[in-house]
Amino acid sequence: MKTLNEKFFKLMDKVILILLILIAALSIFLYKLQKVEEPIFAKTPQYHFYMVAQNSVDPFWKEVKMGAMDAAKRYNVAIEFNAPKFNNIQEELQYLDISILSKVDGIITHVSNSKEFVDLIEEAYKEGIPVVTIENDAKDSKRQAFIGTNSFQLGEEAGKLMIKATKGKANIAIIVSNDYQLDTVNQNLKINGFLDAIKDYPQMKVVKVYTSKLGTLSAEEITQSIISSKQNIDAIYTTDSVDTIGTAQVIVDFNKVGDIAIVGYGDTADILRYIDKGIIYGTVMSDPYRIGYESVKSMVEIKEKNNVSTFVDIGVNVITKDNVKEYFKRIQSIE
């Protein structure tokens, strides 16, 4: 027969086991409760901003979004990101209109070379909503700041690349897009910057400036005409990412790799592959992450100080075979 002490200790063992189970269950419950309740006790965002991008699939705009989101965390603001899947001015305008009707605290938007954008920015101004433009500007509007790159500097850096690509001796063709979405003043500044960079190289001359009108197809047609002409053009500078791809495709198709140097614009996956294979010597572009980050930072300064620089220059990124793998990694990290 078991003694009283044995019965007591056996009972205590059961009690301790039950208590341990209860404590473990309570710990799990409290942990889950804490995770569920965490957003309720999170710090309330100070402002609600609305960002309109040119499209949602281009790695450039994905990186703009990444920069904006990081800045939003840093400055404790909520940011709503919207964009058409592919370039579509009417959709951009619709998003801009929605942002005004929503009476957000601030609007950060890409703009095209269209009076409709200026009109909507004017409407936002009347509603007391500050607007910051990114990548492309609307100088004649009541936007309070522009975050982007000096177009003259973009052209200048492209000119420096062309000097390296051709060792300072080239007959050059320039292909400029007349897409009405783009600011023609900025396009002209790119050309002027390019010309300024090569002006001290007497064996480098621009033979002709072409205007593309239909995107890639037009750039292909222009490049074919350059190859078949008797102007001895051995270098092409393109100021638009679509034209850069179109030109490179024709250079490959006509077996002119190494005969015609290409300096272009952009960092799409196709462009990076062409640079890696030596088909395109290099490209220049704005820094998308900094555009996103600085746009949010500037909007916060507008809200808190009502004072910000009207132009925040985020500099130029130069991509060549030397650093192209870094850009491949950047694209992979945001996909």
| 239, 265 contact by CB (below 8 A) | yes
120 and 211 both lie in a single domain: no
Percentage of the residues of the chain whose pLDDT score is greater than 70? 84
- Whether 334 is in a domain gets the answer no
Q: Are residues 247 and 145 in the same domain?
A: no
Instruction: Write the CA distances from 188 to 30, 129, 171, 177, integer angstroms.
Output: 63, 32, 20, 11
Place of tokens 């990124």: 317
Q: Residue 178: give the domain boundaries.
A: 151-285
Is residue 10 included in any domain, yes or no? no
The residue length of the chain stands at 335
What value does the CA radius of gyration of the chain take, rounded to a whole number of Å? 28
Reported as a pLDDT band with limits 50, 70 and 90, residue 38 is: very low
Closest CA to 148 of 138, 132, 165, 134: 134
pLDDT at res. 29: 54
The verdict on residue 226 lying in a domain is yes
- For residue 40, pLDDT beyond 60: no
Say what the pLDDT of residue 335 is. Answer: 64
- 124 in the same domain as 192: no
Strand partners, 82: 52
CA distance 219 to 250: 9
**Is the pTM of the predicted complex or chain greater than 0.85?**
no
Instruction: Please check whether residues 280 and 292 belong to one and the same domain.
Output: no
Is 77 inside a domain boundary? Answer: yes
Of 285, 304, 326, which one is at a domain's C-terminal end? 285
- Looking up residue 260, the CATH number of its domain turns out to be 3.40.50.2300
The tally of domains found in the chain comes to 2
| pLDDT, tens digit, 9 for 90 and up, residues 204-260 | 999 999 998 765 668 999 999 999 998 999 999 999 888 999 999 999 999 999 999
